[in-house]
Amino acid sequence: MAENEDPDDKNPDASIYGETETFYTIPELNTGVPRDPAFIRVLARIEISIGVALFALLFAGVMYQVIGRYFPAIGWVGAGELALLSMVAMTFITTGYLVGRNGHVVIEVFDQALEGKRLFVVLRVISAVIMAVTCLALAYEAFVKVQVEWLRTSAAMHVPLGVLYLFALVGFLSAAVHSVMKIPYANRPEHQLDISEMEG
């Protein structure tokens, strides 16, 4: 072999580009982040398990609707309602998990400017307190709606609409707990949402 000859030149499947290391090939998503307390880990697993089950119901409802278009004899109006209710319940029940992993929508105006400074810790504490208070207010509203909407039922499956607000109540209470638990760790790296954790 010639001295300057690259061994990959004879391999037709070899890339013409060199090996590249990026965020996607070697993610540093949660490097250095302290481990959650056992209670939060158990709570997160329960939320994800319920979320996965609701997603399965959502998928089943949508697929049943699709099949019903080709085979009208097996069509069921409740399939669409099942998918819709599952989607709403899944959105609520995963609220706490998303808040705990910074998967909710945030506007980071001062984060980069204050990163590495003491005011950054103060900013995180204030953000966590605001999030906890907001979630508690939403949990109270969900509690009120559970009582008000329990007598109303859905059109096809006759499910009390208050059930949806039970998911909201649990989800927002969980989000408040996740927010409060961020306060003691405000001076350390925060958890970031890792989609691989949600793969069932």
Q: List per-residue pLDDT tens for the chain, 200 residues long.
A: 455 555 545 665 666 666 655 544 545 555 666 778 889 889 999 999 999 999 999 999 999 999 998 998 888 889 999 999 999 999 999 999 988 887 666 666 666 667 767 787 888 888 899 999 999 999 999 999 999 999 899 988 999 999 999 999 999 999 999 999 888 877 776 766 655 544 44
> CA 106 → CA 78, 101, 103, 189, distances in Å?
36, 12, 9, 17
Per the structure, how many domains does the chain have?
1
Q: Is residue 22 part of a domain?
A: no
Terminal alpha carbon distance of the chain? 50
Q: Is residue 79 part of a domain?
A: yes
Q: Is residue 7 part of a domain?
A: no
Q: Is residue 141 part of a domain?
A: yes
Decide: 29 and 192 in contact? Cβ < 8 Å.
yes
Q: Is residue 130 part of a domain?
A: yes
Q: Is residue 3 part of a domain?
A: no
Q: Is residue 90 part of a domain?
A: yes
Q: Is residue 200 part of a domain?
A: no
How many helices and strands in the chain, by DSSP H and E?
6, 0
Residue keyed to tokens 């966590």: 128
- List the domain range (segments joined by +) for residue 172: 34-191
